[in-house]
Structure 1
Amino acid sequence: MMHKKLISKFRTARLPLTTFGAAFLLVMTLAVSSPAFAKYASFVMDAETGKVLHSVNADTKNYPASLTKMMTLFMLFEAIEQKKVSLKTRMHVSRRATWQPPSRLGLKRGSTITVEDAIYALVTKSANDVATVVAEALGGTEWEFAKEMTNRARQIGMKNTTFKNASGLPNRGQLSTARDMAHLGNELWKRFPQYYGYFKTQKWQYNGRTYGNHNKLMKDYDGMDGIKTGYIRASGFNLVSSVRRGDHRLIGVVFGGKTSKHRNGVMEKILDQAFYKVDPQMMAEYKKNKASEQAQVAQAVASKRTSTAWGVQVGAYASIKTARVQAKAAIKRAPSYLTGAQTKVVPLKNGNKKVYRARVVGVEKREAYRACKALKRLHQPCMVFRDKTQVAMNRS
């Protein structure tokens, strides 16, 4: 309907055919690539029973973006099981693979990469060049491999999914749904428990560089152990997550997040709600324990700050610069007691003049006294004091 209105407007304007065609293509390109056209969808299922615990636009077709690589990995795991390749098999890097846009590993034409490194690259870096390498190794061409991906997806129950490439790079025909992606996430966990652990990878090193996992919720949401993020402008920010708490494992999907932070917030919310549905008592206990842990951590931090609310003063000087230099020098002269402490310059009005006290703060009482003793042996004036501002802050 929107397309017809656009065509009607251009015709009414009586633009020349060539101008109309170019303008129409431009508008349609923007329509496809604009985040405003990303469709929101979310879905949560119980991994053990298949019970649907949350569903919004679950069967609406969307661009999966790099969630596509979950299917690429599914095909690769099957190939390993069928002994077509092993984790040590080296796959050839073609010129076409090196042409893939970011995110990529930056592989060189004619080089090779092992199957295991390819798995890590897809899980952490979400490397598009590596996705092409895998596709060509298993399917001959990426186009043929994408057809095999689609056929296999249909066989395992992903009825509304079509793949056109192995990476998730923009393609109008590459579509999936939140329900299908949840099903794929569940199949990866159930069918390949020996390989599923790769999705837990937080960091991976390759050729002297370290690559971190794009899924930041693995650190922030208890029990999350995978599996994949995705983003292109036409899809927004996508995420499939697998989470285990107690005796329950849930698979959650979010399509069309406005930002990665927004997407993660939505994921946390729908997973919490789903866990309350399957086991409210467990979640109540979990929240209680979590609050207790947070209180203990806060208390430990406050206790640490109070214990280190001591310092040493090593003189008062006419300029800030001199005071700062003397404070830094004190740390170097008594490193056994002051390493890790901070310098602090405190002004003091002495009659009509202002002097600046050189201090080193953030140490324990015992260390402060020992530091002063060591400094005095080096003929450095020194006095111990308690940092009252720090004590007051901890009490507030």
Structure 2
Amino acid sequence: MADDRYAAIVRDLTSGKILHSVAAEELRYPASLTKMMTLYLLFEDLQQGRVSLGTELAVTSNAEVQPPSKLGLQTGETIEVEDAIKALVTKSANDVAVVVAENLAGSEAAFADRMTRTAYALGMTRTQFRNASGLPDPEQVTTARDMMVLGTALQVQFPRYYAYFKTPSFTFRGHVHKGHNRLIGKVQGVDGIKTGYIRASGFNLVTSAQRSGRRIVAVVMGGTTAKSRDQQMAALIESYLPQGQMRSLAVGERVAAAGADPVLSTSVEPEAPVPAAIKPLKIAAAQGIATTGRAVAYVVQIGALPSREAALKILRETQAAHADILSGFEPIAAPYKSVVRARYSGFSDRQAAFGVCEQLRRKRVTCQVLPL
């Protein structure tokens, strides 16, 4: 794995500790790891009822001419959302990525903007998207750490839909398409999630694995071959999964999707326990949030921006655009490490915060509810 593009990170999702990190904050090309975010937004629209698994997505000429890997969709055809999910997970189909983008946002450029905004909201502070597929673009960049955050968020926010990442193959119009993730079924405990490759990136892989109550998310980027990348990932799993903290969890606990925040969402409850992560931060008096006798208070976070000015700008713009939802709530620009979190406070309880976030999501504003 001696390559200047190499980067890796391993995180224990029970304790939140980083167990291994090499160049994890350095910029890299995501390649088809991009499709994790394409799927994140599709899952978000599914969860919000904007589409269903049976919704027919229209194919445009722009989608048709995408280079391989692809399903070979033709202009004027349609593909159901569930088949699109399976095509992205297994075939990593570039034409399908464009179909999803154009149907959800009107254009791939508009969808890429939404992808980047969502990345910032999740705490992926060094990621920028320019397309939905991961095809080469010098401005489409990320880090191993940011891909770890996204890999975590997918299983936390959408436990029901995350199961698609286990799909080994799927049949579409009589053709069987096999998945590219060779570790599923070969390395004990691996349950997803995505591979990626372009010449500039090398071979990339984000993987989740669990055994005996322990769970990790690991990222390898810049592998020289698919085989060496898989071997490196398998070695990381065998080395660090046994070091993970084992914990007995209640259904509904959530992994931290970014930084030190446990992510709480309105997503469908998981069918199996999902490990919790870092303990909630103590309430800071400077933030001026009353707990009314409770152990925790809640905020609605709409982004993690590079500066206080940027955070305040998005807070003001969002509050002005959705005054009917956000009137009376206090905007807070809260510094954390290298970012400033854009938040609203003043909620009477957890349910009230969830209610506001749900209304914002219906307006296509990405948000999450966080305890303090």
Same fold (TM over 0.5): yes
- Matched with 1:184 is 150
User: What is the DSSP-based 3-state SS (H/G/I as helix, E as strand, rest coil) of the residue aligned with 1:106?
Assistant: coil
Partners of 1:187 and 1:109 in 2: how far apart?
33
Q: What is the TM-score of this pair, normalised by structure 1?
A: 0.61
User: What is the DSSP-based 3-state SS (H/G/I as helix, E as strand, rest coil) of the residue aligned with 2:131?
Assistant: coil
User: What is the DSSP-based 3-state SS (H/G/I as helix, E as strand, rest coil) of the residue aligned with 2:21?
Assistant: strand
- How far is the alpha carbon of 1:187 from its aligned partner? 0.4
Partners of 1:121 and 1:102 in 2: how far apart?
12
- Matched with 1:79 is 45
- How far is the alpha carbon of 1:50 from its aligned partner? 2.1
Partners of 1:93 and 1:52 in 2: how far apart?
42
Structure 2 residue aligned with 1:261, among 224, 227, 249?
227
Structure 1 residue aligned with 2:63, among 85, 97, 103?
97
Structure 1 residue aligned with 2:116, among 150, 165, 181?
150
* AA aligned opposite 1:196: Y
- Matched with 2:22 is 56
Unaligned runs of 5+ in 1: 1-34, 281-396
- Matched with 1:223 is 189
* AA aligned opposite 1:81: Q
- Matched with 2:100 is 134
Partners of 1:49 and 1:36 in 2: how far apart?
30
- Matched with 2:140 is 174
Structure 1 residue aligned with 2:210, among 237, 244, 269?
244
Which has a greater percent of helix?
1
Q: How does 1:85-124 map to 2 (within 5 A)?
A: 85-124=51-90
Q: What is the TM-score of this pair, normalised by structure 2?
A: 0.65
Partners of 1:132 and 1:227 in 2: how far apart?
20
Q: Are the equivalent residues in 2 in contact too, given 1:170–1:232 (CA < 8 A)?
A: yes
Partners of 1:233 and 1:91 in 2: how far apart?
30
Partners of 1:55 and 1:69 in 2: how far apart?
23
- How far is the alpha carbon of 1:70 from its aligned partner? 0.2
Larger Rg: 1
Q: Are the equivalent residues in 2 in contact too, given 1:105–1:130 (CA < 8 A)?
A: yes
User: What is the DSSP-based 3-state SS (H/G/I as helix, E as strand, rest coil) of the residue aligned with 1:171?
Assistant: coil
* AA aligned opposite 1:132: V
* AA aligned opposite 1:40: Y
Please give the per-residue CA displacement for 1:218-265, whole angstroms capped at 9, x wherever unaligned.
121001010000000000000000001110111010000000000011
Q: Are the equivalent residues in 2 in contact too, given 1:235–1:255 (CA < 8 A)?
A: yes
Partners of 1:191 and 1:248 in 2: how far apart?
19
| 145-154 or 46-55, which deviates more | 46-55
User: What is the DSSP-based 3-state SS (H/G/I as helix, E as strand, rest coil) of the residue aligned with 1:265?
Assistant: helix
User: What is the DSSP-based 3-state SS (H/G/I as helix, E as strand, rest coil) of the residue aligned with 2:98?
Assistant: helix
* AA aligned opposite 2:59: V
* AA aligned opposite 2:46: I
- How far is the alpha carbon of 1:49 from its aligned partner? 3.0
Partners of 1:38 and 1:148 in 2: how far apart?
31
- How far is the alpha carbon of 1:268 from its aligned partner? 1.0
Q: How does 1:21-60 map to 2 (within 5 A)?
A: 39-60=5-26
- How far is the alpha carbon of 1:278 from its aligned partner? 2.4
Please give the per-residue CA displacement for 1:191-235, whole angstroms capped at 9, x wherever unaligned.
101101100001100000101110001121001010000000000
Structure 2 residue aligned with 1:213, among 167, 170, 179?
179
Greater relative contact order, per chain length (Cα 8 Å cut-off, separation 6+) = 2
Partners of 2:72 and 2:62 in 1: how far apart?
12
Please give the per-residue CA displacement for 1:144-184, whole angstroms capped at 9, x wherever unaligned.
10011000110011111000000000000000000000110
- Matched with 1:346 is none
* AA aligned opposite 1:42: A
- Matched with 2:365 is none
* AA aligned opposite 1:273: S
* AA aligned opposite 2:56: R
- Matched with 1:164 is 130
- How far is the alpha carbon of 1:119 from its aligned partner? 0.1
Partners of 1:162 and 1:36 in 2: how far apart?
26
- Matched with 1:18 is none
Partners of 1:63 and 1:38 in 2: how far apart?
13
User: What is the DSSP-based 3-state SS (H/G/I as helix, E as strand, rest coil) of the residue aligned with 1:267?
Assistant: helix
Partners of 1:116 and 1:110 in 2: how far apart?
18
Partners of 2:244 and 2:160 in 1: how far apart?
27
Please give the per-residue CA displacement for 1:20-44, whole angstroms capped at 9, x wherever unaligned.
xxxxxxxxxxxxxxx9986100000
| Compared CA separation, residues 272 and 279, structure 1 to 2 (3 A) | farther
Partners of 1:78 and 1:279 in 2: how far apart?
30
Partners of 2:163 and 2:15 in 1: how far apart?
22
The alignment of Structure 1 onto Structure 2 pairs a total of residues equal to 246
- How far is the alpha carbon of 1:54 from its aligned partner? 0.6
Partners of 2:178 and 2:26 in 1: how far apart?
31
